Amino acid sequence: MTLSLEEQARLTAGATMWTTGAVPELGLREVAMADGPMGVASGRIDERDVSILTPAPVSLGASWDLDLLERVGALVGNDAIGRGVDALLAPNVNLARSPNAGRAFEYYSEDPLLAGLCGAAWTRGIQSTGTGAVAKHFVCNDSETERDTLNAVIDERTLRQVYLLPFELCCEAGCGGIMTAYNRVNGDWCAEASEPLRIVREEWRYDGVLMSDFFATHSTAPTLNAGLDLEMPGPARFLGAKAADAVASGEVPAERLADAADRVMRFARRFGGAKTPADLDADDMLTEAAAAGMVLLRNDGLLPLASDLATIAVIGPNATAPCYQGGTFARIAVTPDAPTPLQALETAFAGRATILHEPGVDPQPRLPSLPVAPMVDLGDGCSDGMTVEYFAGHDIAAEPLTRETRATNSLVWFHGVHEQARFNEAGAVRARGWYVAAASGLHRFYVGATGPVSLSVDGVPIVVRQEQPAASDIMGVLKAGDAAHADLALEAGQRVAVDVVFRFAPARAQGLWYGVRAPDTPDAMLARAVEAARKADAVVLMLGETADASVESKDRADTRLDSGQLRLAAAVLAANPRTAIVVNVGHAFDANFATDAAALLVAWYPGQAFGTALTDVLLGTREPGGRLPVTLAREEADYPAFDLKPAPGGDLAYNERLLLGYRGLRARGTAALFPFGAGQGYTTFALGQPRVEGGLIHVPVTNTGARMGAEVVQAYLVDSPFALVGHARITLAPGESGEVALRPHQHILRDIAAQDGIAIRIGRSAEDEAFIVDFPAA
């Protein structure tokens, strides 16, 4: 059956927010998609849509374990099958070009080869289940500041050898699609960037679908002619029926539209059919993956924790308010059964040691939770959360359209996805609940929204915001999540009615968020933490970020942890030097504060198994298996790319060219605080003299310690651009010797002009000068 021009055009735009179009006449159903590199995100962004939450890509990248990544991808594929999702908008193979990138936790590495290998492995895994992978965001969407307008200015060599390479590896792994980014590249919107898209289609001969990020198209003919096949989401804005008009007017060749429709149909046939779940144990897999990414950077013997400790102080905000993931729209609703690190440690040491806990600083410094009981019993069995009511129009005295109980302090709605109201028309939301004060003193109430909002306590308005952002600014307001606040004195045990009213203007998305901070003072929290540290035989100090620290459309200003946490770290280390610091972040950070700690462990964002995996690592039942996928510099000025604010006019120059991350430090002769690739386990290894044979570099490895463990052998080009060219993991028992065989990656070697041979350095980090071998030129 031959499709008509109109039918072909219909396939170039999504049918709904999360589905492609269908052609029932051909037996071609729609493809259901979902967001998320860490699992299957709820299209409704609803805390009740619980999915498996894997470690963030930066944590998976830290494992340097491609087999593990493939299995994690398959696990996500299993979850997608159970949720009726055919394809996932992942992996994210942009690069951690700057440590301040707001979505650095979604990037596997600062190195293009490691990022691409990880993305390709995850792709193979998820697609082994019949679930599609859509690699994103093509290309140079490596920061968030002004991402909807910035123009990445980059030379061709850097574009090809660094930023396109991870996508090329995903294409070679057979990814079902590639998603273009919001930004521009060398003047063109990514959805209209004809030269990068030409490379994908013609040079790589990629036959998958090329789709836009959501609402990232700006035109009809330029978009189609550049090579984009599918506009998301639906209904169409620039493609769809307009594509047929562009062909009829001669602006777009008929064969280009036919090709676009054919690519969408192939995508649908490939992933819209039968699925093949992988045989994996989710709990064990998630715990293994979380531990494998944890990077031990210092250890004077404190870890693993001795079994005879009588008192352990678990201090820090992230012990009870861990950061499992970042705050993007791909956020996963975490199972309520996931134990916090404190809960897991208390369980592990029950009957063996006394656990003391103090947060030391506020665990929720930006937007605290609002622990309330619903105002109305809806018979849904929910005893926690707000009663949320939805109204047509701004009159909340009218009968609500619907009611529900929501146990969250952050609500997001998209028109066409959420059916409680028509969010592209004027309406209102009212959220009410009973709050009981746990202590006497000033309570700070917070509220924010994408329109006029008020928060009342016992009928008295205490926070009122009248600002109505333009519809075009709604997404920015929503992603920023800023809130106003006011203080109110309450007595311990006092029950008050909290009433939030939000009136919205028409827009494609809406949001409402609120919280309350109970009385306490920074000095009092710090004093209690220091006292606990003094009493303990050992301290586990858990520092890091909150879930809203890494967000879309917002980069960080610096690499430092919160000043209150740094103050806490200094005080605890002074009170008890037997302190293991666990850092729960999603990016490169300033680790200078921890160089005198007995142990320093980077946990990243490790997913829902955080508590279990961390306890296993601290006790030594699992190895901290990770190596740094990013550089931790001594000074912020040492990072080759740091400032992410575009120049006036929108240009963001990639002036470091090939020398991003560890490459730039090497070129300048600057030592890192902790170099790319660094990390240790609970045993020691020795590398033997490598030899080149059969196109491989063979490296002898011996476990010289008393425990089983894994080593990551790394190979780098010696000459500029100094670059990772391959790696291999090996696990050995105490005293056991083995051998890894490294094949320098062809995509790195193809760009090296060499007559006789290529010098390659073998070691255990980017700064380990172990051995140099001469590898034959191609």
pLDDT per residue as tens digits for the range 665-695: 999 999 999 999 999 999 999 999 999 999 9
DSSP state for residue 551 in the 8-state scheme: B
Is the pLDDT score of 577 beyond 80?
yes
DSSP run (H or E) holding 525: helix 522-535
- Is the pLDDT at 708 greater than 90? The verdict is yes
At residue 326 the predicted structure's pLDDT band, cuts being 50, 70 and 90, is confident
Options 3.40.630.10, 1.10.3720.10, 3.20.20.300, 3.40.228.10; CATH for 5-271 is: 3.20.20.300
- Confidence (pLDDT) at 755: 56
CATH-assigned architecture of domain 683-776: Sandwich (2.60)
Q: What is residue 497's predicted lDDT score, i.e. its pLDDT? A: 98
Name the residue ranges covered by the structural domains of the chain: 5-271, 282-366+521-643, 373-517, 683-776
Question: pLDDT grade, residue 544 (50/70/90)?
Answer: very high
3-state secondary structure of 732: strand
Active site residue 548: no
User: 373-517: which CATH topology?
Assistant: Jelly Rolls (2.60.120)
Domains 282-366+521-643 and 683-776 in one fold: no
pLDDT digits (tens, 9 = 90+) for 31-73: 999 998 999 998 888 888 899 999 999 999 999 999 999 999 9
Beta strand 709-717 with 724-732 is antiparallel
Using only C-alpha atoms, the chain has a radius of gyration, in whole angstroms, of: 27
Choose, from 35, 213, 499, 590, the residue flagged as catalytic.
213
Q: What is the pLDDT of residue 26?
A: 85
Which has the closest alpha carbon to 199: 152, 234, 167, 240?
167
Angle at the Cα of 41 from the Cα atoms of 630 and 557, rounded to 5 degrees: 40
DSSP notation for 222-237: HHHHHT--BBSSSSPS
DSSP 278-310: ----HHHHHHHHHHHH-EEEEESS-PSPPTT-S
On average, the pLDDT of the chain sits at 95
Question: Is a pLDDT exceeding 80 seen at residue 720?
Answer: no
Name the pLDDT band for 609 (thresholds 50, 70, 90).
very high
Residues with Cβ within 8 Å of 4's Cβ and at least 6 positions away in sequence, in order, are none
What does the pLDDT read at residue 279?
A: 97
At 754, the pLDDT band (50, 70, 90 cuts) reads low
Q: What whole-number distance in Å separates Cα of residue 255 and Cα of residue 5? A: 10
Sign of the dihedral defined by the CA atoms of residues 149, 150, 156, 162, in that order: negative
What pLDDT score was predicted for residue 237?
Answer: 96
> In 707-762, where does DSSP find H-type helix?
746-749
Over range 194-204, report the average pLDDT.
98
The string of pLDDT tens digits covering residues 65-108 is 999 999 999 999 999 999 999 999 999 999 999 999 999 999 99
Residue labelled with tokens 């959360």:
385
pLDDT at 5: 95
Q: Which CATH class is domain 282-366+521-643?
A: alpha beta
pLDDT of residue 778: 66
- Judged on CB neighbours under 10 Å (0-12, 13-18, 19+), 31 is buried
165's tokens: 């390479």
3-state secondary structure of 616: helix
Stronger pLDDT, 331 or 725, i.e. the higher one: 725
- Determine how many CB atoms are found less than 10 A away from the CB of residue 707: 14
- 120-162 pLDDT, tens per residue? 999 999 999 999 999 999 999 999 999 999 999 999 999 999 9
610: Cβ–Cβ under 8 A, 6 or more apart, which residues? 290, 322, 324, 338, 340, 341, 584, 603
Give pLDDT, residue 16.
93
Question: Facing residues of 738 across strands?
Answer: 701
336's tokens: 């309520």
